[in-house]
Structure 1
Amino acid sequence: MEVRLAEAEAALAGMKEARRKGYRRVIIESDCKTLIDELKAKSQGRSDFHLLLDDINELCNVFDSVVWSFVSRKHNRVAHELAHICSSQLGRRDWDATLPRFVMNLCHDDIYNMRYRYSYNIHMFLIGRPTEDETERSNQPPS
């Protein structure tokens, strides 16, 4: 199956489950940039992929808020690993009460990596930006 088609089917299934559980706001993350870009653009077409996009966009109307977010595979191991498990095992997996230990470990790793990535970006932003004292000194003539 084509990757973007599989990703679109997964997004649609996730949104249906969110609706079933009564969620009003959802964030859909995917490592398929094509899917996220096409959803944000509300792309139209006649392919199987675009028909799924139409279904997804229609389902958006039942939510107060839907956010589409591209997350690289490197920073979303949970989705990547679960996709491999689901493709190798038939059937649907629902974990309403307690997540299996391996899923919890993947979530922990993703959260840790996300915190590290954001703190690194903020740190680099602060280092690259002169302080008020440095700006004042640079505007004064040399003595």
Structure 2
Amino acid sequence: MAAVRMERNSWTPELAELRAIEVGLEMAREEGIVPVLVELDCHNAILKLQRQESSRLEIGVRVREIQDQANQLGSVEWWFGRREGNRATHAMAHVRCDWETHEKWAERPPIFLLDLLSNEALAH
């Protein structure tokens, strides 16, 4: 499953990644998708999720909320993937969509991603 959504917020890259995880886990719950593999290129976010760090800062609160979502789903793994190794995600981040909607794809990716996904699968 993949999704693209524009939000009108000014976040640090780490907070933006954590917000994307929240949205992704929510979508997985709605679609009944388990197990879930979350792959990020933000190493700090992955470390915080794996260590189950918590604090009163916004990042700590988001990490706790994500961990609660993950526990409710039952089977969630956190993986670190280097940015240069995930061209499909990079391409999706640059998809234009209007500010009021989002796009999501379950099972069948949009045509423009098929080649990228095939090449990435072969590379792994």
State the TM-score bracket (shorter-chain normalisation). 0.7 to 0.9
More strand by share: 2
Is 2:43 the partner of 1:18? no
Aligned pairs for 1:81-96 within 5 A: 81-85=91-95, 89-90=98-99, 91-96=101-106
Q: Any stretches of 5+ residues in structure 2 without a counterpart?
A: 1-10
Q: Any stretches of 5+ residues in structure 1 without a counterpart?
A: 115-143
Of residues 88-97 and 72-81 in structure 1, the stretch that sits farther from structure 2 once superposed is 88-97
Task: Please give the secondary structure, in 2, of the residue aligned with 1:24.
Answer: coil
Aligned pairs for 1:61-72 within 5 A: 61-72=71-82
Aligned pairs for 1:36-51 within 5 A: 36-51=46-61
Structure 1 segments, 4+ long, off by >3 Å, are none
Query: Distance in 2 between the 1:6 and 1:51 partners?
Result: 14
Relative contact order (C-alpha < 8 Å, sep 6+): which is higher?
2
More helix by share: 1
Query: Distance in 2 between the 1:97 and 1:12 partners?
Result: 20
Aligned to 2:86: 76
What is the Cα-based RMSD across aligned positions, in Å?
1.7
Question: What are the superposed Cα offsets for residues 30-63 of structure 1, whole Å, 9 maximum, x if unpaired?
Answer: 0000110110000111222221111101111222
Is 2:13 the partner of 1:3? yes
How far did residue 76 of structure 1 move?
1.1
TM-score normalised per structure 1: 0.72
Amino acid at match of 1:70: F
Aligned pairs for 1:94-105 within 5 A: 94-96=104-106, 98-105=108-115
Aligned length: 113
TM-score normalised per structure 2: 0.82
CA pair 89-40 structure 1, distance change in 2 beyond 3 A: same
